[in-house]
Amino acid sequence: MMEPMSVHPPLGHGEVLQGLWDAARSDRLPHALILRGPEGVGKYHAARWLALGLLCDAGPGEPCLTCGPCRRVQADSHPDLFLVDPRAAGQDRMTIHFIVTRENRPKSAYSGPSIENFLRLRADEGGWRIVCLRDVDSMNVNAQNAFLKALEEPGKNTLLLLTSARPDALLETIQSRTVSVDFARLTQSDTLRILERDADMPGLEEPSEREMLARWSLGAPGKAIKLAESGGVPMRALIVDLVAGRLVPEEAGPAFWELDGEFPGKTPAAQRRTRASALMDLALEWLLDGRRHAARVPLEDLAHGGVLDQLTEISAGELESCMDCLLQARQDVSLNLSPEILTERVLRALADLSGRSSAATRRP
Q: Which is nearer to Zn ion, 57 or 92 (CB)?
A: 57
CB of 341 to Zn ion, least distance (A): 57
Closest CA to 287 of 270, 310, 265: 310
Query: What are the phi and psi torsion angles at 162 (to 5°)?
Result: -100, 145
Is residue 20 part of the contact set for Zn ion (CB under 5 A)? no
| Ordered DSSP codes for 312-358 | TTS-HHHHHHHHHHHHHHHHHHHTT--HHHHHHHHHHHHHHHHHHHH
List CB contacts of 325: < 8 A, sequence separation 6 or more: 345, 346, 349
Displacement of CA 38 from its chain's centroid (Å): 8
Stretch near Zn ion under the rule CB under 5 A, chosen from 29-37, 53-61, 161-169, 208-216: 53-61
Question: Cβ(81)–Cβ(66) under 8 Å?
Answer: no
SS3 content of the chain, % helix, strand, coil (to 5): 55, 5, 40
CB of 70 to Zn ion, least distance (A): 3
Measured from the CB atom, the residue of 124 and 182 that comes closer to Zn ion is 124
Does 119 contact Zn ion by CB under 5 A?
A: no
Q: How far is the CB of 66 from Zn ion (least distance, A)?
A: 6
212 binds Zn ion (CB under 5 A): no
Beta strand ranges found along 217-288 (DSSP E): none
Q: Which of 23, 67, 123, 270 binds Zn ion (CB under 5 A)?
A: 67
Nearer to Zn ion, 63 or 249 (CB): 63
Count of positions on this chain that bind Zn ion (CB under 5 A): 5
Determine which residue in the list 23, 64, 248, 337 makes contact with Zn ion, applying CB under 5 A: 64
Contact 93, 144 (CB under 8 A): no
- Distance of alpha carbon 155 from its chain centroid, rounded? 30
CB of 4 to Zn ion, least distance (A): 17
Contact segment (CB under 5 A) with Zn ion among 67-75, 219-227, 303-311, 333-341 equals: 67-75
5 binds Zn ion (CB under 5 A): no
> Binding to Zn ion by residue 56, rule CB under 5 A?
yes
Q: Which stretch in 59-67, 126-134, 177-185, 236-244 sits in contact with Zn ion by CB under 5 A? A: 59-67
The verdict on 73 binding Zn ion (CB under 5 A) reads no
Q: Which is nearer to Zn ion, 62 or 229 (CB)?
A: 62
Nearer to Zn ion, 51 or 325 (CB): 51
DSSP per-residue letters across 139-174: --HHHHHHHHHHHHS--TTEEEEEEES-GGGS-HHH
Contact range with Zn ion by CB under 5 A, out of 33-41, 63-71, 132-140, 285-293: 63-71
Pairing of strands 81-84, 129-133: parallel
For position 70 contacting Zn ion by CB under 5 A, the verdict is yes
User: Between 232-244 and 221-229, two packed helices, what is the crossing angle to 10 degrees?
Assistant: 70
Phi and psi torsions of 307, nearest 5°: -130, 50
276 in contact with Zn ion (CB under 5 A): no
Which one, 18 or 175, has the nearer CB to Zn ion? 18
Q: Which residues bind Zn ion (CB under 5 A)?
A: 56, 63-64, 67, 70
